[in-house]
Structure formats: structure tokens, C-alpha cells
Structure 1
Amino acid sequence: MSLHPEASILFSQLSEPFTGESLFDGLHDTVYFIKNAAGQYVVVNETLVQRCGLKRKSQLIGRTSEEILRPPFGHSFTRQDQALLQSGKPLVGQLELHLYASRDVGWCLTNKYALTGRDGGRIGLVGFSRDLDKHNESTEDYQRLGSAIRFAQESLAHPISVTEMAETAGLSRYQLDRRMRIVFGLNTGQWLLKQRIDRACELLQTTQKSIIDVALETGYADQSAFTRQFGRATGISPSQYRKVELRTQE
């Protein structure tokens, strides 16, 4: 994307490149980073340092996700980064369950964009992951969604649709989606996915149910579909998740 002439003039006058680092240091609910084409961190914010269980940015700079995070978590980020650099296609609003070195687990929305060099090649990427806000059940919007939410939560073992949720709430799909974004910061499809993965994580951590049984209890028709969706959201397989000791972020 080419810069507007006024922006080009401004950036040409800077004494040093603007990375956004100091800006994102003030956002405690957001992880921010810039990586080079080798996957090494070159810019990070304080929140990322803390969630990696480190004390200083220098402990991250020049290192890759796989060097910082224990297997298989670092590798999952590397795969995602490599796919982005190869395709050049941005990752926008990706709902992810992040598993941190501190053993905390929390949902976030991730955005990543490739950085293009002067020769047109992709030389790195920039990204951020923002924690999902805690919803307020006392709001009018939440109350209006109550019937749809209860219907979905009681029907997770079935492949319910957004249309069915909207009909239950007496809303159009557009109205339902608008209220879901206001209350949860997610569209209805993302919210449904979060409910299914949350339930699957609970079953994997607290029961000895087989992976296929967990898949069926969370509305998936078969194990392969469940494993693909679970991997996309968490970066690891259900069996790998089962082996990890975690604590949910407050």
C-alpha cells in the first residue's frame, strides 16, 4: 500500500523508524510484535515479555517463538507465520486460544500482516493479539440475547446454526450479529466456535473421554473435522492439549 504524500513527507523526517513499540507498551490486554523473515522477534511490547515468563525485552529480541515457548506451542506460531509470509495474505480477526509460557490460557483476536521490502519481497511481519473483553450480563443487549445464548449452550452437541439462534432470540441474523459484537466482541459464528472449543478443552482436561467422544459432544460430525478446528484455534491437537497443565486467566 502506497503512502499518501503527506505521510511520506512525515516519515522521511523521522530521526528513527516508527515501530509502534512505545504505543503498544501501554496496552496491557494486547500482545504486539514485529518479526523478520526468519521468525525472529525484532520489536515486542511489555505484555508479550510478561506472558512469555520473561523480565526484559532483550530476552526476546533475536529469538524465535520456538526458542521461547516450549513445544509444541512455539512451532504452531512458526507455521502460522510461514504461511503468512508465503501467501502474503493478512490474518485478520483470527479467534485463538493462546497458551502462554506462564501456563495461562486466554482467548484473543489476532491480526498479522506481512511486511514488504523495497524489492517487493516479504521481509517480515507485524502482528497483535488482543484479549477478549469480559462481557457484562446485566446489559440490555445481553438480556436480549439470553434465549439464543441458552439455546446454544444447551445444544452444543448438535450442529446448530446462526439462523436457529437468531430465530430463538426473535432477531434477524444481522440484529443478532450486531448485538453479539457489542456484548462479546465476536460475531455469532466466532462466539459459537469459542463455546465449542471451551467445552472441548474442559472435557479434555477433566475427563478421560476419547477424542471422538469429545468431538461428538461438542457438535462435530467426526474426529478429523474437530481436530482441524481445534488446531486452528489453539495451534495444537486435542491430544497435545490434554497433556498440558493450564490455568485460566482471570
Structure 2
Amino acid sequence: MAKQPQSQPVKQEAFFAAISNPIDLLQLFEFLPEVYHYVKDSEGRYMRANRVVCRVVGVESDKEMIGRTDFDFFPPAIAAQYIDEDRRVIESKRPLSDQIWLVPNIKGVPEIYLCNKVPLFDATRRVIGIAGVKRPYRQSIELGSQHGRLMKVVEFVAMHFQDPISVAELAEQVTLSESQLYREFAAQFGITPSCYIREVRIGISRHLLETDEHSMAQIASHCGFCDQSHFSRQFKQSTGMTPLQYRKRFKSH
């Protein structure tokens, strides 16, 4: 029986080092719907972003993002959270896996995403930046599982955010007690059900402030807040800006 020719040892590092333009590999992320991909340097400046990220921040291509930071595109409180997480990856020199983030969809409704980040090293093993991806949480679960049950709560809030919603009502949707729902929801998503209701309303109000001319009172009413004063307090607590400041900064022209 003829002997099979022995294959040569695969030299992975040499193969990738031979690629003339490593950025070509990142083009694959342009074909993943709903998946966010970005690369930043150690100062938090964008070096690359796929079309999903560009759409969310309102630019035509990542050329408009290169050299800019999250503070150029997001409210201060939210940008600070993104950058703090990046710094943890840089300082620890270790990947961060499946962190929960609330990411607004095209209507402003915050959806639950899983975020993974890895540090990027130079030849001397110095961290020079990070690369990250975010993917929809619903793509990573089985609907019959405990996590699928919690997603029914998420979907209920998205459909009924304009109405008064109690935790008791949410618990009833998935046949849990209030305390059970609090424990399971907070353990899985790092946020209580009542805080999630607030963040959904804030996310939709951000979208309205960016895209239309409704008054603050109208937006407060549409998003399920008790009154304009309550809306303003909750909005500033979440974003670090008043609704008026946010509209002046992010309103589309």
C-alpha cells in the first residue's frame, strides 16, 4: 500500500503574517446582520467599524469614525460605560466574554446583546487596542429554556412600554413570583426588571429626541413616564444629559 505523503507542519503565525492587508479579514463582518464589530486603539479611538455600527451612530462609513471616541457618538454616561469596559480589557490583558449590553434597534427599543472583547498586542506583547463584537442575545438561547422564558418578559416590555407595567404583571406572564423574577432577571441580565422597563422607555425617548419635533411633554407621555418632570429626572440619571441637552447634541438635521 502506497504511503500517503506527509503534510508539512502548519505555521499559523507565518501564514497570517504573510497576508498583505489584514484589514481584508475584517470585511467578513460586513456580511453579519445585527452583529456589531469594531476595533479601537488603546486611547479608545475607533480604528475600524462595520456597517452595523456605522448605521447606529449615523455615519456613512467608518472613515467618519476613525480617530474619534465613544464620547463623539453617545451620551456621556453611556460612552463612559463603554470606555470603562474597554479599559478593563486593556489593563487586565484578558478577553471579556458574553457581557450584557442594552443596544437600541432602529426604533430606539433597547435589545439585549452579548458583548465579547479581546485585547490586541504588538510584537512586544504591549496592548495597543481592543477588538469587540456584539450579537443579539436571542440568537444564543433556546426558547424553551429559562433564558427563553426571560425573553418573553423582554418582549412584553417592548410591546407595552407606553402602559403602566408592574413587576407583578411581568411575573404573571411567565408564571413566576415577583421575587423569583427579580432574582432570575438580575442574575442573567445584570439589571432588575423595573430598571429594564425604565431603560426601554429611555431608549425610545432618545430615538424620538433624535428624529422628530415632539415636545418634551408629548415624548414623556408617549414613552410611559408619569409626567415631564419624571421623564427629565430619569433621562438624566440614565444618560448624564437632560432631554433638551440631548436633543441639541444629537438631533438629526
Aligned equivalents of 2:193, 2:91: Cα separation in 1:
32
Aligned equivalents of 1:202, 1:19: Cα separation in 2:
37
The one-letter amino acid of 2:131's match is V
Residue of structure 2 equivalent to 1:70: 75
Q: Residue 40 of structure 1: which of 25, 42, 45 is its match?
A: 45
Report deviation, 1:157. 4.0
Residue of structure 2 equivalent to 1:107: 112
Aligned equivalents of 1:104, 1:54: Cα separation in 2:
20
Report deviation, 1:37. 0.8
Residue of structure 2 equivalent to 1:20: 25
SS at match of 1:89: coil
The one-letter amino acid of 2:197's match is R
Query: 1:98, 1:106 within 8 Å by CA — same for their partners in 2?
Result: yes
Q: Residue 56 of structure 2: which of 47, 51, 74 is its match?
A: 51
Aligned equivalents of 1:97, 1:66: Cα separation in 2:
17
Report deviation, 1:72. 2.8
The one-letter amino acid of 1:27's match is L
SS at match of 2:53: helix
| 5+ residue gaps, structure 2 | 1-8, 154-167, 203-222, 228-235, 248-253
Q: Deviations over 1:21-78 (max 9, x none)?
A: 2100011210101111111111111111001111122111111111222333222211
Q: Deviations over 1:159-201 (max 9, x none)?
A: 5587xx8xxxxxxxxxxxxxxxxxxxxx994268575543343
Query: 1:21, 1:44 within 8 Å by CA — same for their partners in 2?
Result: no
Aligned equivalents of 1:53, 1:99: Cα separation in 2:
13
Q: Deviations over 1:98-129 (max 9, x none)?
A: 25898453221000111122222211000011
SS at match of 2:72: helix
Aligned equivalents of 2:100, 2:52: Cα separation in 1:
19
SS at match of 1:20: helix
Residue of structure 2 equivalent to 1:117: 122
Aligned equivalents of 1:34, 1:203: Cα separation in 2:
30
Residue of structure 1 equivalent to 2:171: 153
Residue of structure 1 equivalent to 2:188: 190
> How high is the TM-score relative to the length of structure 1?
0.59
Query: 1:53, 1:102 within 8 Å by CA — same for their partners in 2?
Result: no
Query: 1:69, 1:101 within 8 Å by CA — same for their partners in 2?
Result: no
What are the residue-to-residue correspondences of 1:220-231 with 2, within 5 Å? none
Query: 1:70, 1:101 within 8 Å by CA — same for their partners in 2?
Result: no
Report deviation, 1:96. 0.9
Aligned equivalents of 1:159, 1:240: Cα separation in 2:
31
Q: Cα–Cα, structure 1 residues 160 and 133, in superposed 2: closer, same or farther, change >3 Å? A: closer
Q: Cα–Cα, structure 1 residues 161 and 47, in superposed 2: closer, same or farther, change >3 Å? A: closer
> How high is the TM-score relative to the length of structure 2?
0.58
The one-letter amino acid of 1:50's match is R
1:31 and 2:36 matched: yes
Aligned equivalents of 2:239, 2:73: Cα separation in 1:
22
Q: Cα–Cα, structure 1 residues 157 and 203, in superposed 2: closer, same or farther, change >3 Å? A: farther
Detail structure 1 runs of 4+ shifted over 6 Å in the superposition: 134-137, 149-152
Aligned equivalents of 1:207, 1:242: Cα separation in 2:
15
Aligned-pair identity (%): 18
Residue of structure 2 equivalent to 1:225: none
| 5+ residue gaps, structure 1 | 166-186, 210-235, 246-250
Residue of structure 2 equivalent to 1:10: 15
The one-letter amino acid of 1:153's match is A
SS at match of 1:72: helix
Aligned equivalents of 1:42, 1:79: Cα separation in 2:
18
